Structure 1
Amino acid sequence: MSKAKQSITVDGVEYVAKGSQEPTNSNIKIVILQRGWNVIGRWSEDGDNCALDNAYIIRRWGTTEGLGQLALKGKQEDTVLDKAGRVEFHRLTVVATLNAEEDLWNNELV
């Protein structure tokens, strides 16, 4: 279930409350790949070829609210990440992507 967007319009400009919507255009993504692989890293793409740099395989989510909790709230106490370096994959192997809060993940992805 997604949060309701909280906004106000002033003089024709819409302002959205911080934290009232999912992150957009994040360079850091959680990618769900075929065969159940969940990876987080810095997204790039070149045609049909995609990559995550400074990537980690998410071995254990460690969440109470699902995979989206990692994207929106950062690494949890029971989360287990395995360093993977650069992970490359074809666009057609992507099941879904989640934009991650960059402020919460920047220091984790080193």
Structure 2
Amino acid sequence: MTMDVDEARQIRSSAELNVGDEIEAWHNGKLFHRGPVTQTVTGVDLFWILDARTGTRRLIDAEALVILRPAAAGPAKAPSRAPIHKSTHTSTQPSHMPLFQAPGLAG
């Protein structure tokens, strides 16, 4: 039985994390947050990270997002939920977007 690469990287509970572990938080195939764990609250499956993009602390809900350990090398890649289709169109959207954003603020 072969294990999918994303399954090997996936964190299913904050109990699997230690302070200092690097994580990526994904939602609907998009990377929302990345950074080191600063604190865990295992009783409610939450943890804090220091967001690499903004430099601010973020409270992450391990049940609401797909949490992955970063790939060893290379650019970030969306967790595989469906076949990947290559496109010649390049996106102008930033790779990091807040989970909730007012429609008028979307770029």
* Category of TM-score, reference length = shorter chain: 0.3 to 0.5
Give 1 or 2 for the bigger CA radius of gyration: 1
- TM (norm. structure 1) is 0.35
- TM (norm. structure 2) is 0.36
More strand by share: 1
